[in-house]
Every structure is written in structure tokens, then in C-alpha cells.
Amino acid sequence: MGLLTKKDAGLILDPLADNNPITIQVLGICSALAITAELEASIVMSVAVVFVLGVGNVVISLMRNIIPSKIRIIVQLIVVATLVIIVDQVLKAFSYELSQKLGAFIGLIITNCIIMGRFEAFALANGPWKSFLDGIGNALGYGVILIIVGFFRELLGSGTLFGIPVLGDPITKTGLYATGYENNGFMIIPPAALIVVGIIIWVQRSRNPALVEEN
Amino acid sequence: MLEHIELFFKSIFIDNMVFAVFLGMCSYLAVSKKVATAVGLGAAVIFVLAVTVPLNWLLDKYLLQDGALVWLGEEYADYNLGFLSFILFIATIATMVQLVEIVVEKFSPSLYNSLGIFLPLIAVNCAILGGSLFMQAREIETLGLALNYGVSSGIGWFLAILAIAAIREKIRYSNVPAPLRGLGITFIITGLMGIGFQSFGGMLTGGDEAPAEVEDTTVQTIEVEKKENLKEIDEEEISYNAAINK
């Protein structure tokens, strides 16, 4: 399948910045906030959404001419639910503790607005290859935000990345902790995710004035 | 009765659907520009949760739980259909929402006009599926408690969207920095409200058990200490008397 054309490359790259599903399209916020206290959970959730959205977009795109319009929401829900069940079972099999940590939020990928949003906006009107790229692009855009939030929350809140202490040991006061630095407990509680995303939006819109909302 | 009241207040304030577990954020952010529409959506969410959570509880109890199929026959006791939870829950929700929409349109056109636009949207609202999934994860015990959980979670969500809509209406006249206008400031305000709601966390801890225990032990230790002191005094008296008598 050779090199991607410029338009195709755009399908993957646009959602990473200017058309980001979380900060611009305002979709998929729920899971972006709830599970980002740790970087590992953020990455696993991003991979799960990449799989579901990529495969789902292709499936819906292949079926787009035979789905009657009246039941299309139900068909979309069934496709997503099946893919999420697969993800959930694979996760339970290979990493049970991570599956417990993510809890109900794996199931909530079904109602993740990004997935239904891209089905409606793109997969129902475009061919399978383009839909696949669009799905991957949007899921990666979602993943980028999740990873940024997870990175800062885990680093500032627990001083670890992937569970490995990187700033020293807070109990024996080595590394950065020897200077009197303490972990920011605020970063672990849920509201911190909202504020971190708010700051990301602030930075993004400052750099690109075209995205600022009119009053 | 007490567990009903406890679940009610816990679901509204401590496990608030928006501030503690972030369910239904997309519609929360999109529909909160005006208080009137926020009230409409909030009412619809309470209604749909009240209908779907008990229904999904029944599904969970008689079909999806580990060993739930016993009622069909003893040989089915080992079957675990839990992996079908997602697809069955979402199917129930989509169907119920469609049914509710048809019924409301037929019997109360005025209610349909105010709620109606939101009802189809709600089927894919994470708050609704989340309510059922959390009900399953927390292993809620009775149908009454499931109904209680559905209604109170809905009320919690309703309170949240009402508050943010009211605040957003007011800050339109404030001097928000341009890049934060609209979405950004809403995130930050929601975060601050979340911190505020965390203060409810101490509301239901302790209750009948913990303080009573603490009380009992301190009273007991004081009594034991008293007894020991008295014992010592008695022993001293006895030895003193013994010494005198000798």
C-alpha cells in the first residue's frame, strides 16, 4: 500500500493536534479523566481505543451500504460492544490487575463518544482504507492527550513512571526528595485531571489563535 | 432503611457521577451553556437511569452473574455468562430509551417537546451505561437498592450539570483569558467543583460502628486502669495492715 497520499496522511496527523478529539471536538472525555492517575493505565486504554476504533471503523465502512438508516445506531452499538468484549477478555487474560484497575472504564469504551462520533461522521460515508486511517488518527489523538495527562499526574503525584520511582525514594529521602521536595498529593485525586486538561487546552489555543472560541 | 438512605446520599455527594467518576462528561460539557437545557437533560438522565438500572440488575441477577442460571436447572449452575454483560446492558438501554421515547411522545407531547431531543442522545451517554456497570461492579444486593442507586446517581449528575450551567451563564460576563474561553475554563471550574465535592468524603464515614468502638475501648481502659489502681491500693492496704498487725 505504498506511501500515503497527503490527504491520507492528514487523516492521521490532523487529530493529533488541530482537530484533537478531546480538546477540540470535545469527545471521549470521560475515560480521559478517570484512569489517567497512572501512565501504564493511560497507555493500555489508548491501545484499546486504537484497536476498537480502527477495526470498528473498517467494519462499519464495509457495511455502510447495507445498514438501514433507522437501525444504524443499534448496529454501531453492537459492533462496538463486540469489539470491547474482545478487548476486555484479552485484558483479563493477560493482565488481570490492570483489568481490575481500569474496572468499568473498559466497558465504557462502548459509549466513548469518539467511537460513535467517527462512525457517524466518517465511516458511514467513506471507504474502508480511509476509515481505517481516520480511526487510527483519532484514536492516536485521544491517546496523546491521555499519555500527557497520565505522565504529569503520575510523575508529580507519585514520583514514579510505570510504577518505577524516578525522582528518588520519598521514604528514605534520596534523589530529589533530599532537597525537601514532596509528592503533590493533589495530582492523584480525580479533579486534578480536569485541571491538567484545562491547562493543555490553554496551551493549545494560545499557540493556535484560530481555535479560540468566540464569546 | 438505613442502607437506603446511606446509598442515596453516598451516590449523590461522595460518588458523584461527574466529579468522582467522570461519567457523562461529553453531554455535560456540550449542553451546559444554558440552565434551561441543562435542567431538561438532567431530568432525562434521572428518568432513564431509574428505568435501566433496575432492569439491568434483573438481567445481571438471573442471567449474567456467576452461577445465575440455576433457576433453569441444576446442571446450569456452572455457566458464567458474564462476558455478555456489555452487549446485553447496552441493548437494554437502547431499547428502553426507544420505548420511553415512544411512550412519552404518545402520552405527554409537552414532556416530549421539552425532553424529547435529548432522549436518543442519552442512549450513548456514558452515565447511563456507567450506572449499570458500576451497579454490577459494586454488587448491589436488592432491586430496591438498584432503583435507589439509579435515581440517586441521576440526581447527582443533575446537580452537577445544573451547577456548571449556572456558573457558565454568569462567567460570560467575566474577563476569561481568550485561550481559556468556553471549554478550557469549564474544565478548570469543574475541577474546582470536584475538589469542593471531595469535602463530602467525611460525611458517611464512622457512622454507628467506628466511634462506638473507640468509645468502648477508652471507657474500658479507664475502667481497667481504675480497677488496677484500686487493686494496687487494696494490696498496699493489705500489706500495710499485715505489716501493722505483725
Where does chain A show beta strands of DSSP type E? 160-161, 164-165
Task: Specify the DSSP element, H or E, that contains B240.
Answer: helix B209-245
Count of CB contacts below 8 A, A vs B?
Answer: 142
Q: Best interface-test mutation with A: which of B14, B19, B26 has the largest number of A CBs within 10 A?
A: B26
Helices (H), B108-208: 109-115, 118-122, 126-137, 143-171, 183-198
User: Are A140 and A43 a contacting pair, CB within 8 Å?
Assistant: no
Nearest neighbour of A85 by CB, restricted to B86, B94, B172: B86
CA torsion B167-B169-B173-B175 (nearest 10°) is 40
B180: pLDDT strictly greater than 50:
yes
B72: pLDDT strictly greater than 80:
no
Rounded to whole angstroms, the Cα distance separating A182 from B158 reads 37
What are A139-182's pLDDT values in tens digits?
A: 998 899 889 999 999 888 888 888 788 887 777 777 777 787 88
Residues 32-71 of B with CB under 8 A from A: none
CA distance B139 to chain A (A): 13
pLDDT at A159: 83
B224 part of contact set with chain A, CB < 8 Å = no
pLDDT at B218: 44
* pTM of the predicted model as reported, rounded to 2 decimal places: 0.79
Contact assignment for B130 to A104 by CB distance below 8 Å: yes
User: 3-state class of B123 per DSSP?
Assistant: coil
What are B21-36's pLDDT values in tens digits?
A: 888 888 888 788 888 8
Contact assignment for A82 to B25 by CB distance below 8 Å: no
B219: pLDDT strictly greater than 50:
no
Nearest neighbour of B22 by CB, restricted to A33, A189, A209: A33
A213 part of contact set with chain B, CB < 8 Å = yes
Residues β-bridged to residue B234: none
Tell me the pLDDT of chain B averaged across its residues.
Answer: 80
User: Are A23 and A194 a contacting pair, CB within 8 Å?
Assistant: no
User: 3-state class of B14 per DSSP?
Assistant: helix
Tell me the CA end-to-end span of chain A in Å, nearest whole number: 45
A120 part of contact set with chain B, CB < 8 Å = no
Rounded to whole angstroms, the Cα distance separating B205 from B21 reads 19
Would you state the cell numbers that stand for residue A176, as one nine-digit string? Answer: 530529589
Q: Which residue has the cell 480538546?
A: A23
A33 part of contact set with chain B, CB < 8 Å = yes
